[in-house]
Amino acid sequence: MDIKRLDATYPLIAIVGRTNVGKSTLFNKLVGAEHALVSKQSGTTRTNNFGIFWWRGAPFRVADTGGMDFDSHEPFTKDIQRQIEKALRASDVILFLVDVREGVLPQEKRIAQMLKKLKKPITLILNKADSSHLQTQTQDKEWRALGLGLPLAISSANGSGVGDMLDYITKTLAHTEAPKEHTEQPVTVSLIGRPNAGKSSLFNALIGEDRVIVNPTPHTTRESHNTLVSADGIPYLFIDTAGMRRKSKVTSDTLEQLSIKHTIESLLEAEVCILLLDATESFSNQDQHLAGLIAEKQKGLIIAVNKWDLISGAQEDKKEHFARELGYHFPFLRYAPVVFLSAKTHERVHKLYGLILAIHKARQIEIPQPRLNSFLKRLVLKHKPVRGRGTRHPRILRFIQTGTNPPTFEITIKQKTSVHPSYLRFMENALREQFELIGTPVVVYVHKARSSQPSAIKQPTV
């Protein structure tokens, strides 16, 4: 399978600096959404967070990086350092952010010396310049002494000066070739699961590079990370999310609470979710909670059973046993295909792309009315509608499709009649089988016609 990064041709702006100078706030301001966590806690940003934005009709890519004044007690110092170095090597221009209110600190001097060795365009940004007095400090000698030219003053919190900064960057990059824009809407896929289920490993395997930090420490990934790729010419936007623990396990840790909020927001953005389960662990209430969230939001779904390479013995027998357990614990997700894989060895990871595309097509399907009419006729002959509450047996007056993503259908019956919920489930399953609606919820709801309302479409009567 040919996998390419679609946004790799966009000019990359790397935002660097020590902790708490406002890098994540500026990142969020540029991409127009709160994708990066903003916190005063050291080490909040661990993995480079990438986003895409447009300025004056041109696309750019921006990277939010971890703080460069590493705390020796931060358990991911080396990983963060490698992530920053990777972003700097790939960058076309570097924004060196400092806090104008604190002046030049020793850390800034060391960072400036390190950046100058890269021989890349560097712009010194005096952030948190929220007043005219602070904005005039760009003329201070201490900033010029860093040897990075005339600094620019901005406020990433309220956006002042950001437009001038982007105009300056655009001029700096004027010699670069304009990237080709990808106008086709990507299939958005969110990876959801408990901490340590292997989401980051699977994310890296799907996009074909080590984009996010993989570490056995729970809650390593704090932010959602997006990457736009093309697989065999089809665009996909993959979102790696933070692991979600049960509420009772979440303490007053504000970062973890923010991470959970971001994970739920990422779920809402996605069309297809990959629910990652750990083959070496028993099912938990949290797995059921996450599955319930996905079902509630009516998302397309693939259940990926990770770490299958660690399961020994008769593989097929164990797959059948695992599938039965899935059906028992998640009866409301029987429509979801199940893939047994290993994110670490990449075994069967490639199968996910085909399933994602099939689910995407199923969610977008629009069934012609004549085919729905034929479907209903065969269905009624096979199994007549079952009465729910009411005094009369139901008569289906018409059957239409009312929406997509997910496929949604409406049946119209007369007043004072009703259809039993079991018959609606029977219709959903029959629709899924007849029209290959794989991996997606199918919604069938009932509309009661007024007594004077004629049938829009003649249907078999029962």
- What's the pLDDT at 461? 38
pLDDT in tens, 377-420: 999 998 888 877 655 678 889 999 999 999 999 999 988 888 88
pLDDT in tens, 426-448: 999 999 999 999 999 999 999 98
455 found inside a domain: no
- Shared domain for 87 and 207, answered yes or no, is no
Outline where DSSP puts E strands in 25-115: 49-55, 58-64, 93-99
Sheet containing 225-231, strands listed edge to edge, beginning at the edge strand earlier in sequence = 3-5, 225-231, 234-240, 187-193, 272-278, 300-306, 338-340
- Shared domain for 139 and 36, answered yes or no, is yes
H or E segment and range at residue 168: helix 162-172
89 found inside a domain: yes
177 found inside a domain: no
Q: What's the CATH code of the domain at 392?
A: 3.30.300.20
**167: domain range?**
7-172
pLDDT in tens, 266-296: 667 789 999 999 999 888 888 888 888 888 9
* Domain final position from 342, 362, 382: 362
Is 369's pLDDT higher than 90? Answer: yes
273 found inside a domain: yes
Is 312's pLDDT higher than 90? Answer: no
- Shared domain for 350 and 215, answered yes or no, is yes
Token pair, residue 77, equals: 């110092």
pLDDT over 90 percentage in the chain: 38
Q: Work out the pLDDT band at 458, boundaries 50, 70, 90.
A: very low
pTM: 0.70
- Shared domain for 217 and 301, answered yes or no, is yes
* Domain final position from 345, 362, 379: 362
Token pair, residue 148, equals: 């990075």
Please report, to the nearest 10 degrees, the dihedral formed by the alpha carbons of residues 273, 278, 282, 287 taken in order: -20
pLDDT in tens, 122-143: 999 999 998 888 888 777 888 8
Helices (H), 284-389: 285-296, 315-329, 351-364, 369-382
457 found inside a domain: no
- The CA-atom distances, in angstroms, between 428 and each of 100, 170, 356, 432, 442 are 61, 53, 20, 6, 6
* Averaged pLDDT for residues 330-359: 93
182 found inside a domain: no
By the 8 A CB rule, do 346 and 339 touch?
Answer: no
Domain count, the chain: 3
Is 353's pLDDT higher than 70? Answer: yes
- What's the pLDDT at 175? 64
Is 16's pLDDT higher than 70? Answer: yes
- What's the pLDDT at 181? 55
CA 181 to chain centre: 21
- The CA-atom distances, in angstroms, between 159 and each of 138, 153, 162 are 17, 11, 6
- Shared domain for 336 and 230, answered yes or no, is yes
Q: Work out the pLDDT band at 48, boundaries 50, 70, 90.
A: low
- Shared domain for 128 and 201, answered yes or no, is no
- Shared domain for 206 and 86, answered yes or no, is no
Least confident of 79-83, 355-359, 456-460: 456-460
Residue 393 half-sphere exposure toward CB, CA atoms < 13 A: 5
* Domain final position from 139, 172, 205: 172
- Shared domain for 380 and 348, answered yes or no, is no
- What's the pLDDT at 121? 93
pLDDT in tens, 196-239: 888 888 988 898 876 544 444 444 444 456 788 888 889 898 88
149 found inside a domain: yes
* Averaged pLDDT for residues 336-346: 93
Residue recorded with tokens 């655009």: 170
- Shared domain for 22 and 57, answered yes or no, is yes
* Averaged pLDDT for residues 295-311: 93
- Shared domain for 410 and 337, answered yes or no, is no
- Shared domain for 210 and 284, answered yes or no, is yes
- What's the pLDDT at 418? 86
- Shared domain for 34 and 115, answered yes or no, is yes
- What's the pLDDT at 250? 44
- What's the pLDDT at 178? 58
Q: What's the CATH code of the domain at 314?
A: 3.40.50.300
461 found inside a domain: no
Q: How far apart, in whole angstroms, are the C-alpha atoms of residue 242 and residue 265? A: 11
Is 59's pLDDT higher than 80? Answer: yes
- What's the pLDDT at 215? 46
pLDDT in tens, 150-190: 899 999 989 999 999 999 999 988 766 655 555 578 899 98
Q: How far apart, in whole angstroms, are the C-alpha atoms of residue 348 and residue 274? A: 14
Classify 250 as helix, strand or coil. coil
